[in-house]
Amino acid sequence: VTTSADHPTRLALLDVGTQLGARSGLARLSINDVVQEANVAKGTFYVHFKDRTDYLVSLHRRFHDRLFATVVSATAGLQPGASRLQLSIAAYLDGCLTEPLTRAILFDAHYEPAIQAEVNRRNEFATQPICADLDAMGVPLLSETARLVIAMTVDIAIAEHEATGPLPLLRSALMELLKLRQGI
Amino acid sequence: VTTSADHPTRLALLDVGTQLGARSGLARLSINDVVQEANVAKGTFYVHFKDRTDYLVSLHRRFHDRLFATVVSATAGLQPGASRLQLSIAAYLDGCLTEPLTRAILFDAHYEPAIQAEVNRRNEFATQPICADLDAMGVPLLSETARLVIAMTVDIAIAEHEATGPLPLLRSALMELLKLRQGI
DNA sequence: TGTACATCAGTGAACGCGCGTTCACTGATGTAC
DNA sequence: TGTACATCAGTGAACGCGCGTTCACTGATGTAC
């Protein structure tokens, strides 16, 4: 029932979901709308995805994989520390601005267990390097502070996405909260 | 079509929605389930609420009104400043722990315009006193920092609600981020 | 006190609608001999 | 080269289901005269 991950029709369906989901949220995203917009029959959807949940998880995963790749490449080779953290956050926020699904992914509630699990995987993934940075900066309460940093960054990403552009003052406020800890 | 705000049946319907919405989120909350759980006929629902959106907005409003009342009473008479901010946050988090709808309200996406508007009203309301506190603490970028403080507090509220109890380390991490600004 | 009427919360069957999913089928392409 | 079969993406009508909303009606309570 599920075909190869890079089949053109499968990618087209994901692309359509990215556009439609950005408009009304993933919770309201219907298979009817997706197949109509993609100009394929309804049955074709189930050639490429087991069910609706499988489709939503795929959308989540693609969003996150892309974003993670840009953050990694932006900070490749850097030592853990304040400047790497700063660069990571900037890369993440810049990446979110170019991803249509940002608001839908970061803002939607995750009551489906499968999606909740996917989100948890993502958050654990992000926490690890942030903890290393904070540790190098001498911050106490590593994982707790990392969680708060993620919460603030996600909030900024949503705000910028609604503003359809960067909000430098908001980014500065975050850096201010973190910078003091560096003892600059 | 809408009756007095404190009619017993109306309150019972809101109570049921608070319980059911806490389980599966407000997006999935169906009128069928509400009237069945409340042991009233389906038509009775529309005696008390114009439509589903009206009902959801009422649930939002009641949640927020209660919470706001406890925060206000916890900080009554205090001057703006660090300790008032600290008390406000603690009161908010403690209040969230006793409210079943916390996760559903704070975590649900708000794609319905009417609910989005209600949430915006709430956030503006909360921002004002926080800005006064931050100003007294000598923090720059008042409204931006206030937004980040709200984002962190909401994140902690959700985490504590899932843990069904306070998470002191997470609260401490937030205070650490803010405390330095006070110059203690 | 008795009668007539108004008000109002409550009832539940019925409505149309869009949803996710299924399934028997098509037709093109690849493989075997 | 020609024939037979296997594979696989794609099709679209049909399904059952639960949803939000409507509406003609009931029955109790309050008010007027």
Biggest alpha carbon–alpha carbon distance for chain B = 60
pLDDT at B184 over 70: no
The type of residue at B98 is T
Task: Retrieve residue A29's tokens.
Answer: 């995203």
Instruction: Note the pLDDT of residue A183.
Output: 46
pTM assigned to the model: 0.94
Q: What are the CA-CA distances from residue B177 to residues A13, A24, A58, A106 (Å)?
A: 43, 35, 36, 23
pLDDT tens digits, B17-43: 999 999 999 999 999 999 999 999 999
CB of A52 lies under 7 Å from some atom of strand C: yes
Residue A27 has a CB neighbour count (10 Å cut-off) of 19
Cα–Cα distance, A14 to A99 (Å, whole number): 13
Per-residue pLDDT of chain A in tens (184 residues, 90 and over written 9): 778 889 999 999 999 999 999 999 999 999 999 999 999 999 999 999 999 999 999 999 999 999 999 999 999 999 999 999 999 999 999 999 999 999 999 999 899 999 999 999 999 999 999 999 999 999 999 999 999 999 999 999 999 999 999 999 999 999 999 985 544 4
Instruction: Note the pLDDT of residue B180.
Output: 55
Report CB contact under 8 Å: A109, B111. Answer: no
Cα–Cα distance, A150 to B80 (Å, whole number): 28
Give A155 to chain B, closest Cα distance, Å: 6
Task: Retrieve residue B79's tokens.
Answer: 């001057």
A68 in Cβ contact with A104 (< 8 Å): no
Instruction: Note the pLDDT of residue B183.
Output: 47
Nearest to A39 by CA among A57, A15, A68, A6: A15
Q: What angle do CA B97, B98, B100 make, to 5 degrees?
A: 95
Give B84 to chain A, closest Cα distance, Å: 19
Which of A109-113, B1-5, B27-31, B136-140 shows the lowest mean pLDDT across its residues? B1-5
Instruction: Note the pLDDT of residue B178.
Output: 93
The type of residue at B174 is L
Determine the protein residue whose CA lies at the shortest distance from the C1' of D11.
A41
CB of A57 lies under 7 Å from some atom of strand C: no
> How many Cα atoms within 13 Å fall on the side-chain side of residue B82?
14
Q: What are the CA-CA distances from residue B75 to residues B68, B79, B182 (Å)?
A: 11, 9, 19
